[in-house]
A = this chain, B = another copy of it.
Amino acid sequence: CDEIFLETYTSVWKGDLKKLNLKFKKIERVDLEENINKILTIAKEKKVAILIPGDPLIATTHNSILEEAMKMKIKFEIIHNASILTAISETGLQIYKFGKIASISWYYSEYPYDVLKQNKKIKAHTLFLLDTSPKPMSPKEGLKRLLEIEEKRKESLINKESFCIVASELGSKNKKILFGKIKEMLDINFVPAVIIIPSDLHFSEKKFLSSLKNLKI
């Protein structure tokens, strides 16, 4: 590649490009959203790579870039990567039992609660991704947000006695998987992390989670 751009706002970047001896430019959200034409104009002439933590195209931003590239008739290639969306299978929860995914962001939105409601309707587990910008949201803050919306909406979807799973850095040596009731998780401050609110847990899923607990915590 002639130019390499690195995006680090959708997730925490753990790679080390210096080890690979690669020259790169860090870019911000605004460069990929409002100012994407700058990068695409370069891509008209030169080979350009945009590096992204996790699997690309999961964030809507990256999808829009492809649309623009197609309009400008720029050829592109997508290289997939491991993603939290499948890494959550380390919790022992069946990936087939997950429903829609939701992000909990710093700006107030009841959308995550609506997704939980939809998933509950079809007995699906819900994965919540936590906002990373301007600072990463902790499990504590994410759970508090869900309880706040419950407080307001009173639809009895979730309370402090509900089971939840908090997972951090899956696939790495620092991975943590915590399983318990929400009330036990209200002081969990580590980041990056995701929250899973499971639907009815199968006996074997519970057993797996409990055995993880013994091994990992």
Contact = CB atoms under 8 A, between A and B. Distances in A.
Interface residues of A, number: 47
Contact of A80 (B87, B101, B103, B212): B87
Contact of A89 (B55, B79, B89): B55
A86 B96 contact: no
A83 interface: yes
A53 interface: no
A92 B69 CA distance: 13
A86 B80 contact: yes
Copies in the complex: 2
Interface stretch (A5-13, A117-125, A137-145): A117-125
Interface of A: 55-58, 60, 63, 66-67, 70, 77-83, 85-87, 89-90, 92, 94-103, 118-119, 121-124, 170-171, 173, 204, 207-208, 211-212, 215
Given A55-B83, A99-B100, 6 more contacts: A63-B94, A67-B211, A79-B171, A80-B83, A81-B82, A118-B123
22 contacts: A55-B87, A56-B89, A57-B89, A58-B95, A60-B94, A63-B92, A63-B94, A63-B208, A66-B208, A67-B92, A67-B204, A78-B90, A78-B171, A82-B82, A86-B86, A95-B101, A98-B100, A98-B101, A99-B124, A100-B122, A118-B123, A119-B122
